[in-house]
């Protein structure tokens, strides 16, 4: 079961790389790319699976900090929502480049929370 858990953690990290990397790649002409949207979706879903597995499978020996997870979940939901809204507006030629900065910034904040909150 730990192999599956580690695979899902790797998928979670790839989702983070898609959001942050996608953001950094469009900094000169800010927009929300499809890669950023899919990265946000992957992050949210894989994060929920990681927390579910860590909470319910004793053999993984993972402790879950519910306050940290709650904060990260709220930020992840905001990232997904803003990415989806921003991408939909761009498709209708009503895009706002500031939404790309919000998505990228919140993703970086969420990463810092994951690493620094002990």
Question: What is the reported pLDDT for 36?
Answer: 97
Count of domains observed in the chain? 1
118 pLDDT higher than 90: no
Q: What percent of the residues of the chain are helix, what percent strand, and what percent coil, each to the nearest 5?
A: 80, 0, 20
How does pLDDT run across 40-91, given as a tens digit for each residue?
999 999 999 999 999 999 999 999 999 999 999 999 999 999 999 999 999 9
Q: Which letter, b or e, does each residue of 44-64 get, where b requires 16 or more Cβ atoms within 10 Å of its Cβ?
A: bbbbebbbebbeeeeebeeee
Write phi, then psi, for 50 (nearest 5 degrees): -60, -50
Q: Which residues constitute the domain of residue 26? A: 3-116
């Amino acid at each position: 079961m730990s192999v599956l858990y580690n695979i899902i953690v790797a998928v979670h990290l790839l989702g983070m790389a898609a959001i942050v990397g996608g953001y950094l790649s469009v900094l000169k002409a800010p927009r929300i790319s499809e890669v950023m949207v899919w990265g946000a979706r992957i992050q949210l879903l894989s994060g929920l699976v990681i927390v579910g597995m860590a909470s319910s499978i004793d053999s993984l020996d993972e402790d879950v900090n519910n306050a940290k997870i709650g904060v990260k979940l709220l930020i992840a939901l905001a990232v997904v929502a803003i990415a989806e809204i921003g991408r939909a507006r761009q498709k209708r030629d009503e895009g706002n480049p500031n939404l790309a900065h919000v998505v990228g910034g919140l993703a970086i904040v969420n990463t810092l929370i994951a690493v620094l909150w002990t």
